[in-house]
Structure 1
Amino acid sequence: MLKYIALLFIWYPLRSVIYFMPSCVIAFGSSLAARLALRLSARRATVMREELKALISGLPEDLCRETIEKAFKFLIMEEAERLFFDKEKKVLSLVEFKGLDNLDSALKDGKGAILSLMHFGNHLLVIPALGYKGYPIYQLAEQGVSGGSTRGEGFLQGILVRKRRKIAEAMPAGMIHANKMSKKVYTVLKENKVLLAAIDGRVAKNTKGFGFLGRQMLLSNGIFKLALSTGAPVLPIFMVRNEEGRNLLVIEERLEFKTPDEGIEKYLKIFERYLLKFPHHYAANMMFEHIRSKRGVDNPLFSDLAK
């Protein structure tokens, strides 16, 4: 319950104050809050350490501690940025862009474009950032849970969920539910629009293992099948944050591949480079997926979590 009380305090009384804070001030405040969060969330920090050690061979303990602290700090910053996804001026002040020419070039073919991402950095910021830049973007995502309980923690969580949904609906982007995917996906690409899809999303059940830094990452190649069947190019996209708190949205060049599996393997080679340079950008997602798998949920991110 304390978590939702804190989040509601941020989303309501503090929202107007945070709006006027520059990224460097939010980064400083988030750093202080992260140290407190680490003390209150020792179990999560332990899980994060376990995942980092399993993925990055020989990771020194001091670097591991630094990575965990940064990961907690960035989680708090992401929550602060999420307050303003419906504010064009604020969103565009948070993001710099690199590689928009790659996307523009892809759209010249007239077959749409598929932007493929991981839950890396503030990936949610990609949607409003590109939308406010004028790109007709649609997100392929899992259908969220609506409403909330009427008592206790569920009631507070419900208030937060409805507030977030209201902001999401105001963003300049469309939503396609992956678990109800239909002709809409093909229509989006046929109309030369942009489809955003998470490679490591857990909606698909027909996943298979792909080698990644000594582990087997369970992924679906559905997006790459879609690309081959429609002719739409696939462009890897990553959101990277600097120490001052500014985000850089990087759109890589289109991938060239002949089979869906080859597409994923080429994507993972690029992702490996980003993860080794910015492990704190993915540490939180690995932590959440680890906890999720231990609760008995099917379809873990890594095959060793299913044991």
Structure 2
Amino acid sequence: MRVCESPARDALRLVAWYPLRFLVERLPPRLGFAVLRLLGRLHAAASRGRRGRALAAVSRLRPDLPGPTRRKQALAAFETHYANQLSIFVFPRITPDNFAQVLEIEGREHLDAALAAGRGAVLPIGHFGPTQLPLTVLGLVGYPMLQIGYLNEAGLSFIGRHVAVRLRRRYEGRIPARIVPPGPGTRQALAHLRAGGVVMTTLDDAPGQPRFGRHATFAFPGGALCAPLGPARLALSSGAALCPAFLVPGKTAPYRLRLEAPLAPPPGADKDAAALALSTELLARYAAVVRDDPGWWHLLEAHGAPGVPNISNVSNVP
């Protein structure tokens, strides 16, 4: 995504990272996320053009949805943008005792079984909803977490680099997980898995993110999607369990992390063929999640919406 820096964008950054940050980080976690989603709704109300592009993008992904549902998903694109970009303000208030206010965890037994067997686990998760929330909560409840993540500073203004990125690094340093870059961090991720740890990595590339590692093209809502083979290759190389992980709407909390049983590679396949087969299965399951709630998908932007200003211009790759 090409980002146009401007004084207005810098002013928005200053508002977000100073008065708004101080407010949100003092609220209970559930209320903090509610405030961030409210900002998205206010932005949608004030941006008829961008709201229209969001609706058009949802319609391209899900032309079968009735009109009211498409409008609801278009609004969700704005809510998701703010909840994802600024969720880091909420994280300091989340604890092992109150995380259920914002995140339900389903299928935890699959992760526990993999770790009990000494295998380690790879959790591939998409750019869908507030992507670092599962990383934060799993780390808080005691799982040895490592994230392969990427901070994109290309083209940022002075305030973008010295306010948004500098402060984000500080807040990410408080997440109970180690964050390593793609590429050089792969060896650290392999060692972490072989020691019985958990690695959270990406199912798809963030908008504007450079591609790292091998990719393939998969069928997906709205057209073919080029996605990384890295999660499957990481699991195959380390012997770790490959457990699909999806962030979806919750029942008693705003969000739910759904952990599924590990995928088994096809018998007799070499590493390349096995990685492709596993990735095809992962992307098919992810496609179903995106079809259910297209407004939560960050790559909706690639379909012409929502055009929401990226307050931090930071791509986090969980």
- Shorter-chain TM-score tier: 0.7 to 0.9
> In the TM superposition, what is the alpha-carbon distance from 1:116 to its structure 2 partner?
0.5
**Kept after mapping to 2: 8 A contact 1:208/1:218:** yes
Q: 1:170 aligns with which of 169, 174, 180?
A: 174
Q: Deviations over 1:11-61 (max 9, x none)?
A: 322434334545665566455533431254445434433432232232333
Write the letter of the residue equivalent to 1:37: H
Structure 2 partner of 1:261: 276
Aligned residues of 2:263 and 2:278 also touching (Cα < 8 A)? yes
In structure 2, distance between residues paired with 1:172 and 1:147: 29
Tell me which of 88, 105, 113 is aligned to 2:121: 113
Within the alignment, does 1:76 sit opposite 2:82 as a pair? yes
Asked whether the 8 Å contact 2:43–2:78 carries over to 1, the reply is yes
Counterpart in the other structure of 2:150: 142
Q: How does 1:198-213 map to 2 (within 5 A)?
A: 198-201=202-205, 202-204=210-212, 206-213=214-221
Instruction: Report the Cα offset of residue 167 of structure 1.
Output: 0.6
2:159 equivalent to 1:190: no
| 1:280 counterpart letter in structure 2 | G
Name the CA shift for 1:109/1:242 in 2 (closer, same or farther; >3 Å).
closer
Say if 1:185 and 1:25 are closer, same or farther in 2 by CA, change over 3 A.
Answer: closer
| Secondary structure of 1:253 counterpart | coil
- Counterpart of 2:287 in structure 1 is 272
Please report the TM-score for the alignment, with normalisation by the length of structure 1.
0.80
Within 5 Å, which residues of 2 pair with 1:95-110?
95-110=103-118
> In the alignment, what sits opposite 1:85?
91
Assess, with a 3 A threshold, how the Cα gap between structure 1 residues 99 and 66 changes in structure 2: closer, same or farther.
same
Aligned length, in residue pairs: 287
- TM-score of the pair, normalised by structure 2: 0.78
Spell out the pairing of 1:25-104 with structure 2 (5 A cutoff): 25-26=31-32, 29-30=35-36, 32-89=38-95, 93-104=101-112
Answer whether contact 1:92 1:132 (CA < 8 A) is retained.
no
Residues 157 and 257 of structure 1: is their aligned pair in 2 closer, same or farther, counting only changes over 3 Å?
same
What letter corresponds to residue 135 of structure 2 in structure 1? I
**Structure 1 unaligned runs (5+)?**
295-307
35 and 176 in structure 1: CA distance in 2 versus 1, 3 angstrom threshold: closer
SS of the counterpart of 1:111?
coil
Q: Percent identity?
A: 24
> Structure 1 CA distance, aligned partners of 2:277 and 2:180?
26
Unaligned runs of 5+ in 2: 1-6, 267-273, 308-318
Are the aligned partners of 2:30 and 2:101 in contact in 1 as well (CA < 8 Å)? no
Where is the helix percentage greater, Structure 1 or Structure 2? 1
Give the one of 8, 11, 26 matched to 1:2.
8
Q: Partners in 2 of 1:177 and 1:244 — Cα distance?
A: 34
The counterpart of 1:222, out of the listed 222, 225, 230, is 230
CA distance in 1 between partners of 2:304 and 2:253 (Å): 27
Q: Is the 8 A contact 2:57 2:304 kept in 1?
A: no
Give SS of 1:13's match: helix
Tell me the CA shift for residue 142 of structure 1: 2.5
TM superposition shift of 1:169: 1.0
Alignment of 1:12 with 2:18, yes or no, is yes
Instruction: Tell which deviates more after alignment, 251-260 or 207-216.
Output: 207-216
**Counterpart-to-counterpart distance in 2, 1:68 and 1:257:** 37
> Which position in structure 2 is the counterpart of 1:305?
none
Are the aligned partners of 1:30 and 1:77 in contact in 2 as well (CA < 8 Å)? yes
Residue 200 of structure 1 and its aligned partner are, at CA, apart by: 0.3
Is 1:281 matched up with 2:289? no
Q: Which moved more, 1:161-170 or 1:257-266?
A: 257-266
Q: Deviations over 1:211-266 (max 9, x none)?
A: 12362110121321222232211111122234886222221111123211211121
Give the match's secondary structure for 1:178.
coil
Distance of 1:228 and 1:28 partners within structure 2: 40
Q: 1-side partners of 2:34 and 2:173: how far apart?
A: 30
What secondary structure is seen at the aligned counterpart in 1 of 2:118? coil
* SS in structure 1 of the partner of residue 15 of structure 2: helix
Moved more, 71-80 or 237-246: 237-246
Structure 2 residue identity aligned to 1:286: L
Deviation of 1:115 after TM superposition, in Å, equals 0.3
User: In structure 2, the residue corresponding to 1:12 is in which secondary structure?
Assistant: helix
Secondary structure of the structure 2 residue equivalent to 1:180? coil
